[in-house]
Structure formats: C-alpha cells, structure tokens
Structure 1
Amino acid sequence: MDTSIDRPNPYTPGAGDRPRALVGRDPQLALADTVRRQLEAGYAANCLVFVGLRGVGKTVLLKEIRDRFLAQGWLAVYLQIRPTVSVQRAFADVATGSAEQLTAGSRLRRTLKKLAEQGGSLQIMGQGVSLGAGAAPDSYTDLRDVLRTLCAAAKQDGKGVALIIDELQSLKSKLLSELMHLVFELRDDLPLAFIGGGLTYLPSRISKATTSTERLRYEPTDFLAPPDAREAVEAPAREQGVHWDRPALDRVVSIASGYPYFLQLYAYEAWEAARRRGPFVRITAKDVAAGVPEVERQLNTGLYGARYDKLGTLQREYVVTMARLMASDARRPRQRVRSADVAQALGKSLQDCSPVREGLIHSGLIHSPSHGDLEFSVPGFREYVARRDGDG
C-alpha cells in the first residue's frame, strides 16, 4: 500500500523553526567555527554579529551555531532579547539548564553546577558570585563576574563560553553599551565568544553605544541565491523519495525571491496540495498553483495584515505613499524609493518625516539598503499595501 499521503510535511514555515535543509549559510557557520578554534588555541577572535531582515533565518543560524559549540564541549548560551526578561535572568536560566550537556568531569561542568546548587555565593578572587533559580545576577557587573568564573574554568578545559544573543537591536541603549563593555573586557584574556544577531540598523545602534567597533565583525544574512533556494526546497522532499517537477520548483523559487520564510511556506502548501490529490511521489506545477490561495490567505491575515494593522495613522500614511511612488510606473514598478521623494509627496520636510521613518525601520517593516533609499523588508508587501489602499 502506498503510504505517501501519510508522510509528514518536511517544510517548516514557522518563525525560528529549523528547516530540514539548512543551506546557503556555510560561510557564516565557518566563521563561527573559526572563532571557536581561535579561542581554544588561546588566540583573540572578533565578536560576530549577523545582520539581516526578518524572515531570513538569523534565529535558525544562531541556534545552529549554539548547537555546534555545545557539540565541542563549550557552554553555549542562546538568548533572545525580550522586553520583559533581563539578559541576566535569561542567562541564569539557560546556563543552569545546560550543565548536563557539558562533558562529564570537566572543570566547567563542575563549576557551573556548583554555582547553580549553592544558591548563595561562590568566592572567586575575593568576590561573591552566585547563579541559581533564586540568585540571578542583578546587574551587568554580576553577570561579568559569573562569566569570568565560567570562562576561567572553561579555559582550563581547553574550551570556552559562547554568549549568543538574538534581537540585539531590542536592547535599550544603556544596556547595549553595558553589554558591549562587558564582552570587550572579558574577551581580552578569556575564551568568551560573543555572537549576536539583529536587524540591519543594528550596526548603527552599536556604534552609538561603544567606541570599540573594530572588535566587531558584521556579517550579512541575506536572501538565498537561486541554487541554494532550489536546494532548500528539493532536499527535504528528496529525503522522503518525493521529486519536484522542474516547472513546480522554478515557480516556487521565482515567487519566493530567495526569501527563506516564503520558500518554506510555498513548499509546505504545495506538499499539502499534492497530498490532497492522493498518493504522490512528485510535486507538480498544479500543486504549487493549488497551494497559492492558502499561502496568500495566511500572508494577508498574518505576516502582511498583522504588520499593516499595527501601523499608526502617520506610519500608514508613510507606507501607502511609499507603495504609490513605487507603482508610479505601472509597467515597471520599483522596489526602492528615495526618502526625500516620500517626504515631498507628503508635503513635509525630511526632518519632519524622520521620527515616522525611523519607527518603521526599527519595527523591521522597511529598511534603508543605501543612504537615502528605502525598501519594504518583506517581498510582496508593496502589492499588499496597494490592495489595501485600493490602488492595486
């Protein structure tokens, strides 16, 4: 009996969910591996910061790096910045839960478990250091002392501590400055790897928070090139003995425009369409077409709709104006506009528009690929705005 309709769907369009085939990120992973080897050998290594738009897979990349460090015996702590949770509290929670993943008998594991179990303080170089459910570091000074203790123990094992922080742009300026100062202080003589991720304006925020930007290496996390996009779609199906017809694959790669989230979403719905027609070993162009309405429904009510509905009056006016300017030539719509043109169309000065523009950039809805230029950060959002505004 053919059980192909019972095969699990191998595509993962959820935010932060690891795809079955993590492709197009080998250069970034190689950089992280180099940082680890440098620090293990006692050499200095730059801090890595991966920047990119939402939906390109920064979170997946950072979690993969975490897993690679863990596999090499490091304490690797992945944190995602959230308004309601401090870095100190999050670090304590994740670090104390990581002890069992460390090499049995290692000095780092013994030190971490001792810090967590004491719940009081551990005297290290005359300073009281504690880590546990009831004793999270209260300040960045406390976090620095905990990290110094753990890094010193890891150094004796020939390993280190990796502090991996996602959504760095969400940290308030003062806290971002304190965090960078902490990291730069410790990395001078201890095996502390700092790897961050954030939106495209993060380098500007960090440069305002610290003067030591030469210690940071910024790496882009971009849309996937066509060969990588094809592999991201084909590989998961191939694992299950399912083949993508060339026209079907070409269509998904074209619609998605290399945007990783779209690749997973369109492939997921094409798979479901193939399942609905019965046992299958191939995905056709008809399956892709049959899945498009569901993709569009999800985007209109989810990714597009949720972002559009959150906009304030001035923000909505700004993005509608952007969309109209981009479509001013219906035969050749543009993907990019000048901020000066938007301001002029609104009858305002650039300075007057600045707070609205910066708010939209910080939300991740638009970005500035070059000075004075603006683009929507998600493919297809211009068309969505035009439909909502009645111009499309």
Structure 2
Amino acid sequence: MSSRQALTKIGFSATSRRREQTLDYDLLMRVYGEAPGLPSDKLKHVLMFAAEVVGPRGIVFAYDEAQNLADHAAAKEFPLGLLLDVFKSIQRREVRFMLVLSGLPMLFPRLVDSRTYAERMFRVLQLERLDEASSREAIVRPVEVMRSPVRFDAPAVAAIVEASRGYPYFIQFICHEAFAMMVQESDGRFVVPARDIVRKLDHDFFAARWSRATERQRELLLLAARVEREEVEEFTPAELVEASRTGGGKPFSSSGVAQMLAALTEAGLVYQSRSGAYSFAVPLFGGFLRRQGELAAPPPPQPAGERSKRAGR
C-alpha cells in the first residue's frame, strides 16, 4: 500500500504520539519482525495492524494462479495451510478482509486437502467458457473501443472463436498474437495466421507442462487425448485401460492407471471431477497432445506402385 496515514508508533498503544508514515513493505516487515510468536501469529499481527490503519474500507487479498500453492510435508513447508489458518482466524474477528483465490480446477480440492474446513471458508464460482456471442464480443469490442485501425473480418473472428473454444485466456492470447503476426494482403484485409499462432501457443503455453511428464506418463496422456470426449472434455480410467489394449503399445493395468493418474494429478496435469471422471487441468491440452501424437506417428505406408513411381522421378 502507498497511501499515507497518521499512524501510532509500531504496536497498538493508543497513548503514543502520532506521526505520519507510509504503510509500505518495509514497515509491515518491521511489524512482522517485532511481533511475538510463530509465523502464523506474526502474520495475524501484521494483518490486524493493517486493518486498524485502513479502517472500515477493508482490504481484498487477490491471489492468481493459486493452484500452485501447495504444502510440502517432506520439506516441512506448509504455505497453503498457513494461509488458510491465518485467514480463518481473521474471519472469526470479523475484520473486513476478503481473500480471493483464482486458479485451475484443482485449486479447490487442494484447499480441502490442506484444511478440511476450507470448504466452509470460500464461496466457489466456476468460470465457464464464453458462449459464441460473448466470444465474438470479446474479440471485436476491444478494437472498437480503442478505435484501432486493425479490424478482424467475419472469417477471422469465426476462426478465433473456433480455435479458442470460448476460453477467455486463449481468446486474449490468439488476438494478441494475431495483432503481432498479421500479414496484410493486397486488398487491404488482414489474415489471421492461425497455424503460426497455434504453434506459438504450443511452444509458449503447453510445452512446459508436457515436459513435466515421464515417458510412460506421456503415453497415458496421449492415450487420454485420444479417448477424451471433447464435448465434456473428460475421460475415465476404464476408458484408458480399454484403449491401451487396442492401441498397439504396452497396455496399462487398472492399478497402473490409478497410480499414474494420481501422480499426474499431483503434477497439476489432470484433475478428478466429482463424477469420478478425469479432465486435463489446462483447457485445450488435449488438442496439443493430439498434435504431438500426429507428429510422433509414422507416415502411412504407400502402395508399392506409388513408391516405384516416385523412385523413378
């Protein structure tokens, strides 16, 4: 925070003389260092100190990509549990604080795994894909508001809607790349280089997640991408076992699939819905995997006559 407030000296004494000081990181760290007790006690002290300064307006704590928060018992590090414990205590004091966490679908299960009472702490909002009309508005409205000379024509808008599947992040990514990579045609219109954008999306967004998996896990992920029901974007362990028996590779057992899905869930690559089915943790990851499978697949055999014709050219 950067607003200046008339603060008492560090602590809660009402009799100390007042002085003006910025409520900044250095000050809050000093309050933390001087507070007694465990780290959780120190954090509560800092938050209550900030609450007194801010007053009735309250504070919103917003944490994006919160699915990356996790406890690590082996290393004796519990950042997620600490966060929940501190804010649960603050909630009991009815301080005007709001904690907003946003992240991928595995976020809420991780909260509950860390502290079972987390289910009562939060109101969960599922942000679904945009429908076609909203997707189109998200594409064309910003350039209209900014009065940009660049305009997407109807085919380009339709292509972006189809490629993004209505996910806001991908609409943003594709539109940004389209502006950066557009090629002007002779008639003055702009063409969205869809293939180049998908390649960049694969490299910048999906590849890092793909690199987390072992070779055997990659085999299972590719198999999941093949059996994924795209309309609901999910698959079941039984479908994976059955598909592995007809895929030509080394089949997976039921127990092997269960163990591997648990490991992939821990790695943040898949998550289990309440129905018991699994989905890829990142939207459109199945499409990326299918493209990887196509690249890895050998070319189809050619008839002998066709091979001899090409050899004679």
Matching residue of 1:116 = 26
Matching residue of 2:66 = 168
**Pairwise CA distance, 1:262:** 2.7
Contact 2:60–2:100 (Cα < 8 Å) also in 1:
yes
Distance 1:195 1:209, change over 3 A: same
Cα-to-partner distance string for 1:166-222 (whole Å, 9 max, x where unaligned): 333333333322221210111232111111123212222222322432221111123
TM-score (norm 2): 0.71
Distance 1:273 1:302, change over 3 A: closer
Matching residue of 1:386 = 293
Q: Unaligned 5+ residue runs, structure 1?
A: 1-97, 131-136
Matching residue of 1:234 = 140
Q: Spell out the pairing of 1:126-165 with structure 2 (5 A cutoff).
A: 128-129=34-35, 139-155=39-55, 158-165=56-63
CA distance in 2 between partners of 1:172 and 1:112 (Å)? 33
Match of 2:176 among 252, 260, 268: 268
State the one-letter code of the partner of 1:187.
Q
Indicate the SS of the match to 1:372.
coil
Matching residue of 2:252 = 347
Contact 2:178–2:197 (Cα < 8 Å) also in 1:
no
CA distance in 2 between partners of 1:197 and 1:357 (Å)? 24
Cα-to-partner distance string for 1:266-301 (whole Å, 9 max, x where unaligned): 333443454544795x54xxx02xx12311331343
TM-score (norm 1): 0.58
Q: Unaligned 5+ residue runs, structure 2?
A: 9-18, 72-77, 245-250, 300-313
State the one-letter code of the partner of 1:160.
G
Distance 1:146 1:372, change over 3 A: same
**Pairwise CA distance, 1:259:** 2.2
Matching residue of 2:110 = 205
Distance 1:140 1:241, change over 3 A: same
CA distance in 1 between partners of 2:178 and 2:82 (Å)? 47
Q: Does 2:200 correspond to 1:298?
A: yes
Distance 1:362 1:305, change over 3 A: same
CA distance in 2 between partners of 1:106 and 1:227 (Å)? 50
**Pairwise CA distance, 1:355:** 3.6
The count of corresponding residues between Structure 1 and Structure 2 is 269
Matching residue of 2:84 = 180
Matching residue of 1:63 = none
Distance 1:181 1:307, change over 3 A: closer
CA distance in 2 between partners of 1:367 and 1:120 (Å)? 41
CA distance in 1 between partners of 2:298 and 2:227 (Å)? 11
Q: Give RMSD over aligned pairs.
A: 3.5
The higher-RCO structure (CA 8 Å, 6+ apart) is 1
CA distance in 1 between partners of 2:52 and 2:151 (Å)? 51
Q: Does 2:253 correspond to 1:253?
A: no
**Pairwise CA distance, 1:373:** 1.8
**Pairwise CA distance, 1:150:** 1.0
CA distance in 2 between partners of 1:262 and 1:373 (Å)? 24
Contact 1:115–1:121 (Cα < 8 Å) also in 2:
no
- 234-243 or 248-257, which deviates more: 234-243
**Pairwise CA distance, 1:316:** 0.8
CA distance in 2 between partners of 1:356 and 1:141 (Å)? 39
Contact 2:5–2:21 (Cα < 8 Å) also in 1:
no
Matching residue of 1:308 = 210
Matching residue of 1:194 = 99
Distance 1:203 1:268, change over 3 A: closer
Match of 1:220 among 126, 134, 142: 126
Distance 1:334 1:326, change over 3 A: farther
CA distance in 2 between partners of 1:217 and 1:253 (Å)? 30
State the one-letter code of the partner of 1:197.
S
CA distance in 1 between partners of 2:214 and 2:109 (Å)? 25
CA distance in 2 between partners of 1:341 and 1:237 (Å)? 44
CA distance in 1 between partners of 2:216 and 2:181 (Å)? 41
**Pairwise CA distance, 1:313:** 1.9
CA distance in 1 between partners of 2:231 and 2:57 (Å)? 53
Contact 2:235–2:279 (Cα < 8 Å) also in 1:
yes
CA distance in 1 between partners of 2:86 and 2:180 (Å)? 49
Distance 1:164 1:110, change over 3 A: farther
Distance 1:385 1:362, change over 3 A: farther
Contact 1:320–1:389 (Cα < 8 Å) also in 2:
no
Indicate the SS of the match to 1:187.
helix
Distance 1:355 1:388, change over 3 A: farther
Distance 1:172 1:276, change over 3 A: same
Structure of larger gyration radius: 2
CA distance in 1 between partners of 2:28 and 2:274 (Å)? 52
**Pairwise CA distance, 1:384:** 1.7
Q: Spell out the pairing of 1:4-83 with structure 2 (5 A cutoff).
A: none
Cα-to-partner distance string for 1:58-89 (whole Å, 9 max, x where unaligned): xxxxxxxxxxxxxxxxxxxxxxxxxxxxxxxx
Distance 1:292 1:146, change over 3 A: same
Contact 1:338–1:372 (Cα < 8 Å) also in 2:
yes
